[in-house]
Protein backbone atom coordinates (compact mmCIF):
# COMPACT_ATOMS: atom_id res chain seq x y z
CA UNK A 1 0.00 0.00 0.00
CA UNK A 2 2.94 2.31 0.61
CA UNK A 3 4.02 4.09 -2.56
CA UNK A 4 7.63 4.02 -3.85
CA UNK A 5 8.15 7.51 -2.40
CA UNK A 6 7.10 6.26 1.07
CA UNK A 7 3.73 8.02 1.10
CA UNK A 8 0.25 6.58 1.51
CA UNK A 9 -2.79 7.34 -0.67
CA UNK A 10 -4.60 10.54 0.30
CA UNK A 11 -7.92 8.77 0.94
CA UNK A 12 -6.25 6.40 3.38
CA UNK A 13 -4.60 9.27 5.27
CA UNK A 14 -7.95 11.08 5.36
CA UNK A 15 -9.63 7.92 6.71
CA UNK A 16 -7.03 7.61 9.48
CA UNK A 17 -7.62 11.20 10.58
CA UNK A 18 -11.40 10.72 10.46
CA UNK A 19 -11.25 7.53 12.52
CA UNK A 20 -9.01 9.09 15.17
CA UNK A 21 -11.27 12.14 15.36
CA UNK A 22 -14.45 10.05 15.70
CA UNK A 23 -13.12 7.62 18.31
CA UNK A 24 -11.20 10.26 20.25
CA UNK A 25 -9.86 8.93 23.52
CA UNK A 26 -12.19 5.90 23.63
CA UNK A 27 -10.60 2.61 24.60
CA UNK A 28 -11.54 -1.00 23.99
CA UNK A 29 -13.57 -2.52 26.85
CA UNK A 30 -11.40 -3.70 29.73
CA UNK A 31 -8.21 -2.28 28.24
CA UNK A 32 -6.26 0.91 27.75
CA UNK A 33 -6.02 0.17 24.01
CA UNK A 34 -7.20 3.12 21.90
CA UNK A 35 -10.43 2.27 20.06
CA UNK A 36 -8.93 3.22 16.69
CA UNK A 37 -6.19 0.56 16.83
CA UNK A 38 -8.27 -2.44 15.67
CA UNK A 39 -9.16 -0.56 12.48
CA UNK A 40 -5.50 0.28 11.92
CA UNK A 41 -4.50 -3.33 12.52
CA UNK A 42 -7.12 -4.55 10.04
CA UNK A 43 -5.89 -1.99 7.52
CA UNK A 44 -2.35 -3.22 8.10
CA UNK A 45 -3.50 -6.75 7.22
CA UNK A 46 -5.04 -5.46 4.00
CA UNK A 47 -1.89 -3.53 3.17
CA UNK A 48 0.21 -6.63 3.78
CA UNK A 49 -1.93 -9.15 1.86
CA UNK A 50 -3.18 -6.76 -0.85
CA UNK A 51 -0.54 -4.02 -1.23
CA UNK A 52 -2.01 -2.91 -4.56
CA UNK A 53 -5.49 -2.38 -3.04
CA UNK A 54 -5.42 0.71 -0.80
CA UNK A 55 -9.20 0.93 -1.30
CA UNK A 56 -9.60 -2.23 0.80
CA UNK A 57 -7.36 -0.88 3.55
CA UNK A 58 -9.34 2.37 3.62
CA UNK A 59 -12.66 0.52 3.83
CA UNK A 60 -11.64 -1.94 6.55
CA UNK A 61 -10.11 0.89 8.57
CA UNK A 62 -13.56 2.48 8.91
CA UNK A 63 -15.72 -0.68 8.96
CA UNK A 64 -15.95 -1.10 12.72
CA UNK A 65 -16.63 2.60 13.32
CA UNK A 66 -19.60 2.43 10.94
CA UNK A 67 -20.82 -0.89 12.35
CA UNK A 68 -20.77 0.46 15.92
CA UNK A 69 -22.42 3.74 14.98
CA UNK A 70 -19.40 5.94 15.72
CA UNK A 71 -19.49 6.99 12.07
CA UNK A 72 -22.10 7.03 9.31
CA UNK A 73 -21.82 5.82 5.74
CA UNK A 74 -22.55 9.35 4.57
CA UNK A 75 -19.57 10.63 6.60
CA UNK A 76 -17.40 8.00 4.93
CA UNK A 77 -18.72 9.02 1.49
CA UNK A 78 -18.02 12.68 2.21
CA UNK A 79 -14.50 12.01 3.50
CA UNK A 80 -13.12 9.27 1.25
CA UNK A 81 -15.65 8.69 -1.52
CA UNK A 82 -18.21 6.18 -2.66
CA UNK A 83 -15.80 3.26 -3.13
CA UNK A 84 -15.01 2.76 0.57
CA UNK A 85 -18.59 3.48 1.65
CA UNK A 86 -19.99 0.99 -0.88
CA UNK A 87 -17.55 -1.71 0.26
CA UNK A 88 -18.43 -1.10 3.91
CA UNK A 89 -22.15 -1.18 3.16
CA UNK A 90 -21.86 -4.63 1.56
CA UNK A 91 -20.01 -5.90 4.65
CA UNK A 92 -22.59 -4.79 7.22
CA UNK A 93 -25.01 -7.32 8.68
CA UNK A 94 -28.70 -6.48 8.45
CA UNK A 95 -30.24 -4.78 11.47
CA UNK A 96 -30.72 -7.20 14.34
CA UNK A 97 -34.18 -7.84 15.70
CA UNK A 98 -34.09 -9.46 19.11
CA UNK A 99 -31.22 -11.09 20.92
CA UNK A 100 -30.02 -13.58 18.30
CA UNK A 101 -26.44 -12.53 17.51
CA UNK A 102 -25.99 -15.17 14.82
CA UNK A 103 -29.11 -14.51 12.73
CA UNK A 104 -28.06 -11.25 11.00
CA UNK A 105 -24.53 -12.54 10.47
CA UNK A 106 -25.83 -15.77 8.97
CA UNK A 107 -28.02 -13.72 6.61
CA UNK A 108 -25.01 -11.59 5.63
CA UNK A 109 -22.71 -14.56 5.07
CA UNK A 110 -25.30 -16.67 3.26
CA UNK A 111 -25.86 -13.86 0.77
CA UNK A 112 -22.24 -12.71 0.52
CA UNK A 113 -20.83 -13.09 -2.97
CA UNK A 114 -18.60 -10.01 -3.24
CA UNK A 115 -15.00 -11.15 -2.68
CA UNK A 116 -13.95 -7.68 -1.51
CA UNK A 117 -16.71 -7.52 1.12
CA UNK A 118 -15.63 -10.93 2.36
CA UNK A 119 -12.00 -9.80 2.50
CA UNK A 120 -13.09 -6.89 4.72
CA UNK A 121 -14.95 -9.26 7.02
CA UNK A 122 -12.03 -11.69 7.17
CA UNK A 123 -9.51 -8.93 7.98
CA UNK A 124 -11.83 -7.51 10.64
CA UNK A 125 -12.40 -10.92 12.24
CA UNK A 126 -8.71 -11.81 11.93
CA UNK A 127 -7.82 -8.73 13.95
CA UNK A 128 -10.48 -9.37 16.63
CA UNK A 129 -9.52 -13.01 17.06
CA UNK A 130 -5.87 -11.98 17.06
CA UNK A 131 -6.54 -9.93 20.18
CA UNK A 132 -8.18 -12.96 21.78
CA UNK A 133 -5.30 -15.22 20.81
CA UNK A 134 -2.80 -12.76 22.24
CA UNK A 135 -4.80 -12.47 25.48
CA UNK A 136 -5.09 -16.25 25.86
CA UNK A 137 -1.30 -16.44 25.96
CA UNK A 138 -0.99 -13.60 28.48
CA UNK A 139 -0.17 -14.77 32.02
CA UNK A 140 -2.60 -12.32 33.69
CA UNK A 141 -5.48 -12.54 31.22
CA UNK A 142 -5.62 -16.11 29.91
CA UNK A 143 -9.09 -17.51 29.24
CA UNK A 144 -10.66 -14.17 30.21
CA UNK A 145 -9.45 -12.95 26.81
CA UNK A 146 -12.70 -14.24 25.35
CA UNK A 147 -14.61 -11.86 27.64
CA UNK A 148 -13.20 -8.85 25.78
CA UNK A 149 -15.21 -9.67 22.68
CA UNK A 150 -18.79 -8.52 22.44
CA UNK A 151 -19.77 -12.13 21.76
CA UNK A 152 -19.46 -15.54 23.36
CA UNK A 153 -16.59 -17.86 22.43
CA UNK A 154 -18.84 -20.38 20.65
CA UNK A 155 -20.49 -17.63 18.60
CA UNK A 156 -17.12 -16.15 17.61
CA UNK A 157 -15.84 -19.55 16.47
CA UNK A 158 -19.11 -20.26 14.64
CA UNK A 159 -18.79 -16.91 12.83
CA UNK A 160 -15.18 -17.65 11.92
CA UNK A 161 -16.05 -21.03 10.42
CA UNK A 162 -19.09 -19.63 8.56
CA UNK A 163 -17.04 -16.72 7.23
CA UNK A 164 -14.40 -19.12 5.93
CA UNK A 165 -17.08 -21.23 4.22
CA UNK A 166 -18.68 -18.14 2.64
CA UNK A 167 -15.32 -16.87 1.39
CA UNK A 168 -14.55 -20.24 -0.16
CA UNK A 169 -17.96 -20.30 -1.87
CA UNK A 170 -17.15 -16.86 -3.32
CA UNK A 171 -13.92 -18.18 -4.84
CA UNK A 172 -11.38 -17.09 -2.22
CA UNK A 173 -10.25 -20.63 -1.42
CA UNK A 174 -6.57 -19.98 -2.13
CA UNK A 175 -6.49 -16.46 -0.70
CA UNK A 176 -3.53 -15.95 1.68
CA UNK A 177 -5.47 -13.87 4.20
CA UNK A 178 -8.22 -16.50 4.31
CA UNK A 179 -5.63 -19.25 4.89
CA UNK A 180 -4.12 -17.28 7.79
CA UNK A 181 -7.58 -16.68 9.26
CA UNK A 182 -8.51 -20.35 8.91
CA UNK A 183 -5.36 -21.31 10.82
CA UNK A 184 -6.19 -18.80 13.58
CA UNK A 185 -9.76 -20.09 13.95
CA UNK A 186 -8.47 -23.68 14.19
CA UNK A 187 -5.91 -22.71 16.86
CA UNK A 188 -8.50 -20.84 18.90
CA UNK A 189 -10.95 -23.74 18.70
CA UNK A 190 -8.46 -25.81 20.73
CA UNK A 191 -8.47 -23.27 23.60
CA UNK A 192 -11.14 -23.80 26.22
Residues 132 and 73 in one domain: no
pLDDT in tens, 63-92: 988 988 889 999 999 999 999 999 999 999
Where a domain ends, among 37, 57, 92? 92
Same domain, 185 and 101: yes
Give the Å distances, CA to CA, from 13 to 16, 22, 74, 171: 5, 14, 18, 31
pLDDT single digits (tens) 49-62: 998 888 899 999 99
With DSSP H G I counted as helix, E B as strand and the rest as coil, what are the percentages for the chain, rounded to 5? Answer: 65, 0, 30
Three-state secondary-structure class, residue 27: strand
What pTM does this model have? 0.89
Percent of the chain's residues with pLDDT above 90 = 48
Among 92, 116, 148, which residue terminates a domain? Answer: 92
The model's confidence at residue 6, banded by pLDDT at 50, 70 and 90, is: low
Residues 65 and 120 in one domain: no
Residue 133, pLDDT > 70, answer yes
Parent domain of 44: 1-92
My answer on whether 51 and 35 are in the same domain is yes
Answer yes or no: is pLDDT of 123 > 90: yes
Domain count, the chain: 2
97/190 same-domain check: yes
- Nearest one of 88, 78, 103 to 42, comparing CA atoms: 88
Whether residues 79 and 38 share a domain: the answer is yes
Residues 97, 180, single domain; the answer is yes
143 and 83 share a domain? no
Amino acid sequence: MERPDGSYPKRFRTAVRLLMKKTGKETLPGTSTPAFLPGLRSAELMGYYYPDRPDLATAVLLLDAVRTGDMTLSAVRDAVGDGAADRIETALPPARAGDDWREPRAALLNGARDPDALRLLVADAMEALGRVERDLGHPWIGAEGWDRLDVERDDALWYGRELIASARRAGLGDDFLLAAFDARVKRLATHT
